[in-house]
Amino acid sequence: HAKRSGRGRVVVYTREMEEAAKRVTRIEQALRRAVAAGDVAPHFQPIVDLNSRRTIGFEALARWTDRDLGFVSPAVFIPIAEERGIIGPLSQLVLRKAAEAARSWPKEMFLSFNLSPSQLVDQNTGLHILSILERTGFDPRRLEIEITETGLMTDPASAEKIVEDLRRVGIRVSLDDFGTGQSSLGRLREFRFDKLKIDRAFVASILEDRPSEHIIRAILAMCEGLGMDVVAEGIEMEAQAERLTQFGCAGGQGYLFGRPADAAATLGYLREAHRGGSFARAV
């Protein structure tokens, strides 16, 4: 009868909201403990040059498995970390571990790291990143920061200052998930990005519908004109990779080339790929 009366609906709705709020609080508390204990770690997903299919870098993606909650997706815990003020320490932990791991990779491989919107309004973000790079001895010119359009909207002036400080030491800046959310081409005039990542929604439909194909080609032309590198996200099928390569897309990322893997597996993969080369001897 809850469905029949307006009041009943309100009660059911409230109970669901209460359950959801409880779950968020449980995740928040467990996440605080995990960050304090150093139990959140980066996995690494290869980014390839589409023509040669060679790996040119890796994106660090936060991974967390709680004893009671099990595996929790970053799509769930990152927004909670942001809302509850845990994103700063979480991000520093993951970047430190990522930089430590990436130090053992071949020197030409870059490390890409995601920044959340709230980190782009916090003027300490830049200092924290620079101090982690200094302490781990990781070359800032090998680091890329991924930000989204949403991240630039809250306080564009603050975001720009943080981004410019990072760029000054050679860190490169990517615009992530391009084409979804609050896209504004005006943003591309105001901000200088080194790289643009085409959201996987376009890649997913590139073989099926003409609009996606046209949009991707337009994005590629725009990137070329603006002097930006480009990476297509979420490539799962060979046919998608071929089509993107035909269109002149230089960079790719997705399950076709590799799923995110932990630091040890990533190092093993790199050693295998460079077997007999200078890398295998050096490490």
Distances (CA, A) of 235 to 63, 166, 189, 256: 21, 29, 28, 6
Please report how close the Cβ of residue 4 comes to ligand C2E at its closest, in angstroms: 40
Q: Who contacts 75 (Cβ-Cβ below 8 Å, separation ≥6)?
A: none
- Report the partner that residue 78 touches, choosing among Mg ion, ligand C2E, none (CB closer than 5 to 8 A by kind): ligand C2E
Listed in order, strand segments (DSSP E) in 6-122 are 41-49, 55-66, 70-72, 110-114
Whichever of 112 and 279 has its CB closer to ligand C2E, that residue is 112
Q: Which stretch binds ligand C2E (CB under 6 A): 7-15, 19-27, 68-76, 269-277?
A: 68-76
Cβ pair 146, 110 in contact under 8 A: no
- Report the partner that residue 46 touches, choosing among ligand C2E, Mg ion, none (CB closer than 5 to 8 A by kind): none
Please report how close the Cβ of residue 7 comes to Mg ion at its closest, in angstroms: 40
Site for Mg ion, rule CB under 5 A:
114, 146, 176-177, 233
Closest CA to 123 of 172, 85, 160: 160
Please report how close the Cβ of residue 254 comes to ligand C2E at its closest, in angstroms: 3
Whichever of 179 and 279 has its CB closer to ligand C2E, that residue is 179
Tell me: does residue 144 bind ligand C2E (CB under 6 A).
no
**Which pairing describes strands 55-66 and 70-72: parallel, antiparallel, or unpaired?**
antiparallel
Tell me: does residue 254 bind ligand C2E (CB under 6 A).
yes
Whichever of 30 and 62 has its CB closer to Mg ion, that residue is 62
**Phi and psi of 89, rounded to 5°?**
-60, -35
**Which pairing describes strands 110-114 and 55-66: parallel, antiparallel, or unpaired?**
parallel
Site for ligand C2E in 83-102 (CB under 6 A): 91, 94
Tell me: does residue 177 bind ligand C2E (CB under 6 A).
yes
